[in-house]
Structure 1
Amino acid sequence: MPAPVSGPRTLYDKIWDDHVVDVNDQGLTLLYIDRHLVHEVTSPQAFEGLRNAERAVRRPDCTLATVDHNVPTHSRKNFKAIDSFVDEPDSRAQCIALEDNVKEFGLTYFGLTDRRQGIVHIIGPEQGFTLPGTTVVCGDSHTSTHGAFGSLAFGIGTSEVEHVLATQTLLQKKGKNMRISVDGQLAEGVTSKDVILHIIGLIGTAGGTGCVIEYAGSVFRGFSMEARMSVCNMSIEAGARAGMVAPDDITFAYLKNRPLAPKGEAWDRAEAYWRSLKSDEGAKWDAEINIKAEDIPPTVTWGTSPQDVAPITGVVPDPTIITDATKRSSIERALSYMGLQPGTKMEDISLDKVFIGSCTNSRIEDLRSAVRVILAMGPDAKVVPTVQAMVVPGSGLIKQQAEVEGLDAVFKRAGFDWREAGCSMCLGMNPDQLSHGERCASTSNRNFEGRQGAGGRTHLVSPAMAAAAAMTGKLTDVRKLLNADADAKIAAGPKLKLASAFDFLTDPVLPAPKPQTLSHAQNASDSASLPPATAPSAVAPFVIVKGIAAPLHVENVDTDKIIPKQFLKTLKRNGLADALFYELRTDTKTGKKTDFVLNREPYTQAKILVCTGNNFGCGSSREHAAWSLNDFGIRTVIAPSFGEIFQNNAMQNGMLPVQVPVGDAKDLASDAEAGLELEVDLEKMEVRRLNGKPPVPFMVNPFRRHCLLNGLDDIALTLQKDESIVSFEQRRSGAWPWLDGLGYKGGKIPVAPAKVSKKMDW
């Protein structure tokens, strides 16, 4: 592996340094990826890209695939095939496409007939595929979950999914180090979900932008792995690239003897390395936050952003006291969407549905937490008649374990719907959705507009709080139910069996097919400061874009808002122009066009979007957001700040995100409102105003600028570094042999390995 770097380092520094394949003159790092998780929504276009370029998957043994987002969660008792089980045509097409792709490219796959199928961020840790010290990626923003194991885990877009499949690497810019410490004793009823919601409320959804967060302090050291995963899962909601917790004895106890964890002497060697993965004394932090555990109450969201939080004993905020016009407007819009009045007590908010599930809170510990609340209310407690409540385990193995423990019986007796594994109502790409105006207490991770269904209203809560809400019909302070009589009622209830997850991890593991490495560009010059401008690409060059600019005065424009979930069910990268800002451009009740800016002339012809609010493109890793903007004709977005994944996705598609100060963004938006065109010049790095006022300068990474100006393809460029990648892989196998060559016997679909192209790719 790379030579040790001198001086004290953070956990993030250490893992980053250990995975550097190459660094160019502009500071972009070619980072090796140890673990790649794949699902059906963000992968079809990536596999199609491989197919069109006649490229194989470089490391089939480093990729694990499953279906989760689209799959129905009703009974699979009569399941025969996806063709007949998944009713919605586009969902069915994506699931079938993944099955075809894993067959063609030789990947391990957990399908709907496999008891190990489940949410991608549940099955990785469950199987021991996720390990400390690794780099982990997936075409899903909540990949940050895996950082709970002391790994560097982050979400990527579809173009980057293709890049990892083809090269097992990614081009990345190193982020900043941020540490959040929580010390003290949490109060009764306060869980990991409350902790992370409190943190996001404190720092905001852009508070961690450009950073990797390490969670430290006595509270995190005392958390179980399930609790740590819940916290790291929602790091992306704080704007961070990733979240991490240093591995320790709790981590090792969770992992030991899992199917894909090292065994015997390899385990001893791995554990010795893993114990070195902690931040050194004196390591430099770019930002630090310290929180007292005693200050964290049971927490719930009131608005349409994860930062819109309040203690359960609090009230809905009053926007009239907010002086900043953009922030005030955002709160007013959120309250209007949520159907709430300022000053309303959180505990007075009635509900229609309760959802316990998602990659945030569908593990066995979460289900036990909810059951404890139900039992604390006595043997006859039932879900109130006006509420529909559902529980969706995160994987088939968790479902089996819960049923052995008797948790399912408690849920069903109380009136909860007990479902099969899947993402379910977290984002509603499947049949589990909210209807227009329905209000839900949800253990998921996002409360964006329309996230759980068009017009649906979501309040984020912990599993315990969700159970309390189901039994009372309102948002409820769980501490009132976990009172002095609770333990006696729980003891008097059904005798639940405590099972071990290891009792269900019995599927055999065998060596995977030999990795299919490609040898590309053996005569390419590694010394050039910039790649040749002749590398092939389907990406259009970006030099100057001149045209109509549309103004948008909104903060935290999330990717769900840019393109709602129903339009993610596509196998193509185009045809998404009408999907752009669909729920802002269309009245979801009547289907008629609204007065949204992109529906008005001349902005229907906009080539530039000027947003005056921070954090444009936050939220999901869906590259569809960039595709829909591009399809509409918008080649550049100007904003004070961007979600990091969106920024990468835009550049992968020949689009330019232009970051300027808030004042400049407001000035340019004023020009747009006056009907004036703008001219974005990447070569000169300035936005020219056609009213005689001075141009607005901006900065772009030199490497990315060069690639955009010349329309270069990242994969073709990376394959010119094949010798460096091969050399790294040889060192990696010597240092960490437990990361190579693992696969499954049984549930894996028989494969016909992909053909390797003999043509040169540059």
Structure 2
Amino acid sequence: MPLTLYDKIYQEHLVNPDDKAAPLLYIDSHLIFEVPTAQAFDGLKKNNRPVRRTDLTLATVDHNVPTDDRSKYRDAASFVKEPQARTQITLLEKNIKEHDIRYLGMSDRRQGIVHVVGPEQGLTLPGSTLFCGDSHTPTHGAVGALAVSGGTSDIEHVLATQTVLQKKYKNFRVQVEGELGPGVYSKDIVLHLLGKIGTAGATGCVIEFCGSTIRNLSMEARMVLCNMSIEGGARSGLVAPDEVTFEYLKGRPLVPSGAEWYKALTYWKTLYSDEYALWDFSVLINASDIAPSITWGTSPDDVIPITGHLPDPADFDEKQPFKAAAIRRSLKYMALEPNISATSIKVDRVFIGSCTNSRIEDLRAAAKVARGRKVADSVYAMVVPGSGLVRQQAESEGLDVILKAAGFDWREAGCSMCLAMNPDVLAPGERCASTTNRNFEGRQGPGGRTHLVSPAMAAAAAIKGHLTDVREFLTSGNGSIATTQLTLEGDKVSSYGKVAASAPASNFENGGDTFANRPAQQAKRSVEGIPKFRVVRSVAAPFDMQNINTDLVIPGDYLKTVKRTGLGPHLFEELRYDSTSHKEVSSFVLNQDPYRKSQILVCTGENFGCGSSREHAVWALVDFGFKCVIAPSFASIFFNNSGKNGLLAIPLDDAAALRKIHAEGLAKREVEVDLPKQEIRDFEGRLITTFEVDSYTKHCLINGLDDISNTLMSEEKIFDFETKQQTKFPWLFGRIRKLQSPRRLGLHLPGAQDIFDW
């Protein structure tokens, strides 16, 4: 039977192909960072469980780290001033020491954004599976890997079992053909796609990008596409490996070498979608139709070409009232008027960075526009390299000199202004041309306004002081591999700098540290499960919004917590409280009785929970008192996170039944959700509708069972599987243990006291 690339990798990693109810996917590489891991390690400690495969786990810090000058850096405890961020970072350092996990910290020039560091070090390999607790993990699919994300419960699951529960998703082909026009980059391709399919267009799917345009992109450009596949609702993104992939990988520290390189290469060349493979969905895009693009609103699919005009909600009132309401809300938040031109929008800030666009090719594109020009007096512009090695490479090419001469602030590596979790934030009302991936309300800071653009477009906006067609600055060049892989002087240089691969450490040569740390028998059962769910009776809190994203459910600043509790008071904070007086907004539903005590939330808009993979949105809902959320559809990761925390998420495509439940909520009458019977009844006990729920989730919710306990009942099967995998794909095991300390490689900061000498 012909298979897609996704089908092949998925089937290759199923621990037990016969288990259809709770399929376990073996994880070849696990990337961890400071924000969602504290609770996961706490769970391991509580249950006396080891990290199963330290040889398959790599840690770094990125979301919370300051991007200030590090010349006087001593240690994280003294360098990070914000207390909660400092706690998360120092807790991660404590945990990785206890479990002997390789760590790229702030004293290490290899430190950086998790989705830049992974491919840069060669952690991500074709045909492998990778897990990371961040929604932009699909980035790694650019090399032909299946890269998936999830919340803290999934992180703990991978640490304890080296597997993740992963059902089979649908196949979505995005085929792009032809030559890109001048000034058009991969960011424009993916923005164009989002404008076509929307933020829920690929929900429940894995996207494979293909076609002549994709083949003509560099690895770094392909990473941009896969990175933002999540913004279209996809569970992951993929590009089939080819000669571009192999050239990019060869010689990186964690990539096999010698005889193993040729064995791996032979396997990698079998990784493609078969000619007659079945696609559930397909989109064909002509590259000549793609222009330099921007987002104008507060959703990644609010896309127009730079030559376009903003939409008018009145045009959608009659046939698409939800869309009309969303446009009005976005225009109000963004302080923009309908029908104005994109180029009339002035900006206060420009940010070039994030896991989407902070690699060396992105910095070259920005420098090409900035060379010999000056940032407008009205604009503060910053460039944040994705890793210390990207920064080092950029400086060796003189990009920093060009950018600083133009007036850009040149920073250290980190997530920076992608999200409001570190000192780099927008002030209320500030407008930013940003190379990030999300433009949600408050994403870059409470009240901040974000326009997504490519690095070249961002540089052009910085110079002009408003959103600008970059083609005014570029007479030639686009995002094709022929131009992006070259330095500004026309030389071709390895994109991760001149750092040789680490020599094998002695314990690796002897086969040490390449075994599973198996849990003791008594550690297989958790000391506590999840809240049991049977029947809930409550007035349903009625919502009428679509695309309720996780940043709206709980603002990014609260992701710094190291607990699963205490987030309830901050649920929907931007809607519940006035941003100036901080007093309750009386018109908001959760500030009214009886909804303050609602246990059921009913939303008539689609795509509830889109955005981040972290569980904080679910924790906030549960902490407020919600036990059930009903909506037409949910973002995949939010949906998965819900059941793991005792929250029943019910996707209900029966519009009449949904309206009935919503009307009961408006009338302040109770409804009853009966999980054993899979029924929803009105206040008099009359059936409104039945609902579907998968048997595994239902079993766990009714019995209060957590995933890890269930999985460890099959621990012998996991052990047998990984033993076979180690024989079949030996190059995937033990390699992280080859990494050497920054001091040994000359990549440490001279004054640092927290060097991790492995």
Q: What band does the TM-score fall into relative to the shorter chain? A: over 0.9
The one-letter code of the counterpart of 1:132 is P
Which of 559, 566, 571 pairs up with 2:557? 566
Paired residues of 1:300 and 1:311 also in contact (CA < 8 A)? yes
The one-letter code of the counterpart of 1:333 is R
Distance in 2 between the 1:215 and 1:264 partners?
A: 31
Distance in 2 between the 1:238 and 1:678 partners?
A: 33
User: 1:339: which partner in 2?
Assistant: 335
Mapped pair 1:371 → 2:362 = no
Q: CA deviation at 1:721?
A: 0.8
User: 1:674: which partner in 2?
Assistant: 667
Which range is displaced more, 324-333 or 743-752?
743-752
User: 2:173: which partner in 1?
Assistant: 179
Paired residues of 2:354 and 2:414 also in contact (CA < 8 A)? yes
Paired residues of 1:520 and 1:719 also in contact (CA < 8 A)? no
Q: CA deviation at 1:548?
A: 1.9
Which of 402, 416, 429 pairs up with 2:421? 429
Distance in 2 between the 1:663 and 1:608 partners?
A: 18
Distance in 1 between the 2:190 and 2:100 partners?
A: 38
Distance in 1 between the 2:547 and 2:68 partners?
A: 34
The one-letter code of the counterpart of 1:635 is K
Paired residues of 1:148 and 1:243 also in contact (CA < 8 A)? yes
Paired residues of 2:420 and 2:556 also in contact (CA < 8 A)? yes
Which of 566, 572, 576 pairs up with 2:567? 576
Q: CA deviation at 1:687?
A: 1.2
Q: CA deviation at 1:516?
A: 3.9
> How is 1:388-537 mapped onto 2 (pairs within 5 angstroms)?
388-483=380-475, 499-500=493-494, 501-505=496-500, 507-510=502-505, 511=508, 513-518=513-518, 537=528
User: 1:553: which partner in 2?
Assistant: 544
Secondary structure (helix, strand or coil) at the match of 1:22 reads coil
Q: CA deviation at 1:24?
A: 5.8
Secondary structure (helix, strand or coil) at the match of 1:705 reads helix
User: 1:350: which partner in 2?
Assistant: 346
Q: CA deviation at 1:257?
A: 0.7
Which of 654, 663, 684 pairs up with 2:656? 663
Equivalent residue pairs, number: 728
Secondary structure (helix, strand or coil) at the match of 1:578 reads helix
Secondary structure (helix, strand or coil) at the match of 1:94 reads helix
Paired residues of 2:28 and 2:56 also in contact (CA < 8 A)? yes
Paired residues of 1:369 and 1:464 also in contact (CA < 8 A)? yes
User: 1:362: which partner in 2?
Assistant: 358
Which of 641, 648, 651 pairs up with 2:640? 648
The alpha-carbon distance between structure 1 residues 484 and 523, as it changes in their structure 2 partners (threshold 3 A), is closer
Secondary structure (helix, strand or coil) at the match of 2:610 reads coil
Q: CA deviation at 1:667?
A: 2.1
User: 1:700: which partner in 2?
Assistant: 693
Which of 265, 270, 279 pairs up with 1:271? 265
User: 1:740: which partner in 2?
Assistant: 733
Secondary structure (helix, strand or coil) at the match of 1:696 reads strand
Q: Deviations over 1:311-369 (max 9, x none)?
A: 10111100111132222111111110000100110000000000000000000000001
Secondary structure (helix, strand or coil) at the match of 1:409 reads helix
User: 2:76: which partner in 1?
Assistant: 82
Q: CA deviation at 1:638?
A: 0.2
The one-letter code of the counterpart of 1:696 is T
Q: Deviations over 1:283-324 (max 9, x none)?
A: 111111111111111110001000100010111100111132
The one-letter code of the counterpart of 2:441 is E
Q: Deviations over 1:136-162 (max 9, x none)?
A: 111100000000010111111000000
Q: Deviations over 1:31-55 (max 9, x none)?
A: 1001110010011100000010010
Which of 726, 730, 739 pairs up with 2:719? 726
The one-letter code of the counterpart of 1:362 is S
Which of 251, 256, 275 pairs up with 1:257? 251
Distance in 1 between the 2:689 and 2:527 partners?
A: 32
User: 2:530: which partner in 1?
Assistant: 539
Which range is displaced more, 678-687 or 462-471?
678-687
The alpha-carbon distance between structure 1 residues 729 and 442, as it changes in their structure 2 partners (threshold 3 A), is same
In structure 2, runs of 5+ residues without a counterpart are 479-486, 744-753
Q: Deviations over 1:109-142 (max 9, x none)?
A: 0000000000000000000001000111111000
Secondary structure (helix, strand or coil) at the match of 2:248 reads helix
The alpha-carbon distance between structure 1 residues 495 and 279, as it changes in their structure 2 partners (threshold 3 A), is closer
Distance in 2 between the 1:536 and 1:711 partners?
A: 12
Q: CA deviation at 1:670?
A: 1.1
User: 1:629: which partner in 2?
Assistant: 621
User: 2:746: which partner in 1?
Assistant: none
Q: CA deviation at 1:514?
A: 4.0
User: 1:757: which partner in 2?
Assistant: none
Distance in 2 between the 1:454 and 1:674 partners?
A: 33
Distance in 2 between the 1:135 and 1:520 partners?
A: 26
The alpha-carbon distance between structure 1 residues 219 and 663, as it changes in their structure 2 partners (threshold 3 A), is farther
User: 1:169: which partner in 2?
Assistant: 163
> How is 1:14-53 mapped onto 2 (pairs within 5 angstroms)?
14-23=8-17, 26-53=20-47
Q: Deviations over 1:52-110 (max 9, x none)?
A: 00100000011110000000001001011112111110011001010001001110100
Q: Deviations over 1:600-623 (max 9, x none)?
A: 111111101001000000110010
> How is 1:117-196 mapped onto 2 (pairs within 5 angstroms)?
117-196=111-190
**In angstroms, what is the RMSD of aligned CA positions?**
2.0
The one-letter code of the counterpart of 1:337 is Y
The alpha-carbon distance between structure 1 residues 248 and 513, as it changes in their structure 2 partners (threshold 3 A), is same
Distance in 2 between the 1:482 and 1:139 partners?
A: 38
Distance in 2 between the 1:137 and 1:190 partners?
A: 31
User: 1:591: which partner in 2?
Assistant: 582
The one-letter code of the counterpart of 1:360 is T
Q: Percent identity?
A: 54
In structure 1, runs of 5+ residues without a counterpart are 1-6, 487-492, 525-533, 754-762
Distance in 1 between the 2:52 and 2:476 partners?
A: 58
Secondary structure (helix, strand or coil) at the match of 2:579 reads coil
Secondary structure (helix, strand or coil) at the match of 1:21 reads coil
The one-letter code of the counterpart of 2:633 is S
Secondary structure (helix, strand or coil) at the match of 1:133 reads coil
Paired residues of 2:172 and 2:202 also in contact (CA < 8 A)? yes
Paired residues of 1:195 and 1:231 also in contact (CA < 8 A)? yes
Paired residues of 2:182 and 2:477 also in contact (CA < 8 A)? no
The one-letter code of the counterpart of 2:398 is G
Distance in 2 between the 1:295 and 1:415 partners?
A: 34
The one-letter code of the counterpart of 1:394 is G
Distance in 1 between the 2:302 and 2:710 partners?
A: 42
Distance in 2 between the 1:448 and 1:255 partners?
A: 34
The alpha-carbon distance between structure 1 residues 413 and 494, as it changes in their structure 2 partners (threshold 3 A), is farther
Distance in 1 between the 2:99 and 2:627 partners?
A: 33
The alpha-carbon distance between structure 1 residues 50 and 671, as it changes in their structure 2 partners (threshold 3 A), is same
Secondary structure (helix, strand or coil) at the match of 1:141 reads coil
Task: Please give the TM-score of this superposition, normalised by the length of structure 1.
Answer: 0.93
Mapped pair 1:228 → 2:219 = no
The alpha-carbon distance between structure 1 residues 374 and 623, as it changes in their structure 2 partners (threshold 3 A), is same
Task: Please give the TM-score of this superposition, normalised by the length of structure 2.
Answer: 0.93
Distance in 1 between the 2:490 and 2:266 partners?
A: 37
